[in-house]
Amino acid sequence: MKRSDRLVAMTNYLIEHPMELISLPFFSETYGAAKSSISEDLAIMNRIFQADGIGYLASISGAAGGVKYIPAMSSEHSNQFIEKLCNDLADPTRILPGGYLFMSDILGNPNIVRNIGRLFASKFANLEIDSIVTVATKGIPLAYAVASFLNVPVVIVRRDPKVTEGSTMSINYVSGSSKKIQTMVLSKRSLQPGENVCIVDDFMKAGGTINGMKSLLQEFNANVRAIGVLAEAEDEEEDRVVDDYVSLVQIKNVDDNNKQIEVTKGNYFY
Amino acid sequence: MKRSDRLVAMTNYLIEHPMELISLPFFSETYGAAKSSISEDLAIMNRIFQADGIGYLASISGAAGGVKYIPAMSSEHSNQFIEKLCNDLADPTRILPGGYLFMSDILGNPNIVRNIGRLFASKFANLEIDSIVTVATKGIPLAYAVASFLNVPVVIVRRDPKVTEGSTMSINYVSGSSKKIQTMVLSKRSLQPGENVCIVDDFMKAGGTINGMKSLLQEFNANVRAIGVLAEAEDEEEDRVVDDYVSLVQIKNVDDNNKQIEVTKGNYFY
């Protein structure tokens, strides 16, 4: 295969297999080229991936070595993306009765969701995450987006047990903001003991739901290595029950009466 | 930019922007190359995309013309993928009490989910779909996977209204298999009148849920152009209430007592 053909095929292959160690002999055999030519191809791809701000190729040397595509987002793109997100969310027509915010259109856009996934994946790429855990319903697309870049499975915690989940583990917890007792269940088959997990959700107020997930995950002997939320609500009056998290945006001063809202960058960039 | 660099950058750009018309001048300016060189690049990419079985580049001529990446999966890859899926699903340890099937691990694997999305997207690429509609919870990852390849938003029907949905339209419907009355709601802001939609779900038995979605979508004056389900259950005794759908696999003869199950290809290939 000619270099031009190989570059197209290998770029596609690497993008479709993020975080996966691929040996040079595999590329060499698949594309019928000498290892030295493959190394040159990889150098070109690494340079362009970095120039485009989509990540880089990590080389692992030795007999069991190879190359791994680590997805990332350049700080320039990250800043632009988050700023646009803040502007979109600050649209006062989003304010719902009770000071809630309509976000379903943003969570329904696969490009936005994919970029959110890329942002969290860049942040958590070195934590050796085994699974992404989220709670139904709105966190699900974000969890899959992160998972697709980290190349790990998604595990969905539910509010209600369903027959198709098989045996489940269940916990009761107290919601952080409403102080109501709620239930969460997780299928027994969904996690192996000792897995490193990353919790992903769309929104965090006091953090009761995420704290509930942490308790549930303790029952599975899972290690919560990271927590990522799209939006956190500033909530002065209450003590937040979760402190170690990464947020992309922070929602402040939702004023239902005057239809005003303030949205700023979250702690992602700190 | 040199050809080798352009090919890497343009391959990534096209894969990240499926179904989007991109003008030659855009590529020409972005990568600082003559239109004739860009045309040659596109010819190389088109050839390799087809050889790899991931789709093709459609050229639209004229002043408003350009190139569009149409994702697809070669029939060889499709067959291999579906056969593997049938084998995985036929594992008798999946059988749950009552003859249900555990599928959460398969739906939790982002690579499998992405391939399912690619399969449906290839089938529905010419239907001018505006939105993908699914119902919470298990259909959500599949809906996003299809949507990411067709480059359209996802709309999620819920069983229960939530304050963050704003005003909702609600219908009652009769479940096809249990004959129970159930409710579905959809946020009023989620669809524009006259949109072409594609319904995606994980599982269909008699089809009551999908029929309910069709009724709900009528209230939005949406045109249901396609229905895609991962698995359909063979169900001789009952009349199926939905007939125009595409399924990837068919689940037959789930025998809870003898722990046997038969899984065959769905109607996707007919």
Which CATH number characterizes residue A65's domain?
A: 1.10.10.10
pLDDT at B269: 87
Q: How far apart are CA A136 and CA B141, in angstroms?
A: 11
**B6 min Cα distance to partner chain A (Å):** 9
Hunting for tokens 């198709």 — which residue is that? A164
Residues of chain A with pLDDT below 70 are: 235-238
Do B111 and B163 belong to one domain?
Answer: yes
pLDDT tens profile A20-38: 999 999 999 999 999 999 9
Same domain, B84 and B122: yes
Query: B99 and B36, same structural domain?
Result: no
- Clarify whether residues B116 and B242 are in a common domain: yes
Q: A94 and A222, same structural domain?
A: yes
Contacts of A110 in chain B (CB under 8 A): 144, 147-148, 151-154
Q: Are B66 and B133 in the same domain?
A: no
Residue A256: predicted pLDDT:
84
Taking only the tens of pLDDT, chain B with its 270 residues reads: 999 999 999 999 999 999 999 999 999 999 999 999 999 999 999 999 999 999 999 999 988 889 999 999 999 999 999 999 999 999 999 998 877 899 999 999 999 999 999 999 999 999 999 999 999 999 999 999 999 999 999 999 999 888 888 899 999 998 777 788 999 999 999 999 999 999 999 999 889 999 999 999 999 999 999 999 999 998 665 677 888 999 999 999 888 888 899 999 999 988
Are B105 and B122 within one domain? yes
Query: Which tokens in the block code for residue B108?
Result: 């939790």
pLDDT of residue A237: 56
**What pLDDT is recorded for position B236?**
61
A56 and A118, same domain (yes or no)? no
Nearest-Cα residue of chain B relative to residue A41: B4
Question: How many domains in chain B?
Answer: 2
End-to-end CA distance of chain B: 46
Q: Do B100 and A163 touch (CB under 8 A)?
A: yes
**Does one domain contain both A64 and A118?**
no
Q: B225 and B255 in one domain?
A: yes
- Percent of all residues in chain A with a pLDDT value above 70, rounded to a whole number: 97
Look at residue B256 in the predicted model and tell me its pLDDT.
84
Domain check: are B27 and B139 in the same one?
A: no
Q: pLDDT at position B219, please?
A: 96
Q: Which pLDDT does position A190 carry in this prediction?
A: 94
The verdict on B260 touching A (C-beta cutoff 8 Å) is: no
What is the pLDDT at residue A236?
61
Put simply, the chain A residues between 189 and 218 with a CB less than 8 A from any chain B CB are 189-190
Range of the domain at A98: 75-269
Q: Are residues B247 and B173 in the same domain?
A: yes
CATH number of the structural domain spanning residue B221: 3.40.50.2020
The reply to whether ipTM tops 0.90 is: yes
